Amino acid sequence: MASNGQLPFTWTSADAAGLPIFPGLVRYDEVAAGAINHALRFTVPYTRRGFVAPATHWASSISDPNAPPMGTRLRLKASFDISRFPADNQVILTALKRYGMILADNGSAIFISGAPDNRWNNNNLNLLKSITGSDFEVVQMGAVYTDTNVPTGPPPAIGSFSARVSSVTSGTAVTLSWNVTNSLYNIISPQVGPVRGTSGVVTPAQTTTYTLYSTNQYGRSTASVTVTVR
């Protein structure tokens, strides 16, 4: 959630496809503002044992090529008439025409998720159930990754991760430094979160072990350093 970096291939997340859930939800404030500027997430009952970008994970034992892989992107056909729907539904349908929706998990048939909000008009939302799979088209996919062709490669290499001083009094600022190659994003825990560059400052109140998590599309490497608070 704190980075646009890709999860490693075959890693899952809150969604089986390895995608974050929140960015794909229909949110009331967007509809009220008149535009949804992103793709939506959806589910189907049966998926293939495979995934396409932006997904990184599958959740199936089915090898049927007619079953969609995780990450499949559908788009509402340009010819679909949305004028017969209420205005709030038209906002959702316009987004489905422009950005489409991405297969994120196993679940109900072509089920689109929304953020809970008491302001939704459920009678209007129920009208969307009249739309069928044949009203969509599949956006051209890239490579479908399965057990036989998942890309492999070296995880990031952490050359060093250190603290300028290893023992301090409570509240003293300490510089952490690192040298990492071949990473997409780096996170330091606890407290710090995503980091850029090659150094950052922490102020431990008690003895703390900091862990650097360095990730790329092939995996994750870690290194730790402890700062003792006297």
Largest CA distance in the chain: 70
- Does residue 42 sit in the same domain as residue 105? yes
The whole-model pTM stands at: 0.88
- Average of per-residue pLDDT across 108-119: 95
How many distinct structural domains can be found in the chain?
2
Chain-wide mean pLDDT for the chain?
95
- Per-residue confidence at 117, pLDDT binned at 50, 70, 90? very high
Q: At residue 3, does pLDDT exceed 70? A: no
Cβ-in-10-Å burial (0-12, 13-18, 19+) of 27 comes to: middle
pLDDT at 64: 94
Q: Round to whole Å and give the CA distance between 72 and 146.
A: 14
Mean pLDDT for 63-76 is 96
Q: What is the C-alpha separation between 163 and 175, in angstroms, rounded?
A: 6
**Residue 182 is part of which domain span?**
157-229
Between 1-15, 51-65, 138-152, 165-179, the lowest mean confidence (pLDDT) is in: 1-15
Domain membership of residue 133 (yes or no) is yes
pLDDT score, position 174: 97
Q: What is the band of 2 on the pLDDT scale with cuts at 50, 70, 90?
A: low
Q: Is the pLDDT of residue 210 over 90?
A: yes
**Are 58 and 132 part of one and the same domain?**
yes
At 16 the pLDDT is 97
Q: Is residue 15 part of a domain?
A: no
CATH code at position 177: 2.60.40.10
Residue 175 has pLDDT above 90, yes or no: yes
Residues near 84 by Cβ (< 8 Å), separated by ≥ 6? none
**Would you say residue 138 has pLDDT above 80?**
yes
Task: Give domain status of residue 95, yes or no.
Answer: yes
Q: What local confidence, expressed as pLDDT, does residue 5 receive?
A: 73
Mean pLDDT to the nearest integer, 93-99: 98
H helices within the chain, ranges in order? 28-33, 87-98, 122-126
Q: Is residue 84 in some structural domain? A: yes
Q: Report CA torsion sign: 40, 46, 51, 52.
A: negative
The predicted model gives 73-87 an average pLDDT of 97
- DSSP-based three-state secondary structure for 125: helix
pLDDT tens per residue, range 4-60: 678 899 999 989 999 999 999 999 999 999 999 999 999 999 999 999 999 999 999
Tell me what pLDDT residue 19 has: 94
pLDDT level of residue 191 (50, 70, 90 thresholds): confident
Any domain includes 3: no
Ranges of beta strands (E only) in the chain are 40-44, 73-76, 101-106, 111-112, 136-138, 157-163, 167-168, 174-181, 185-189, 193-195, 199-202, 208-216, 219-229
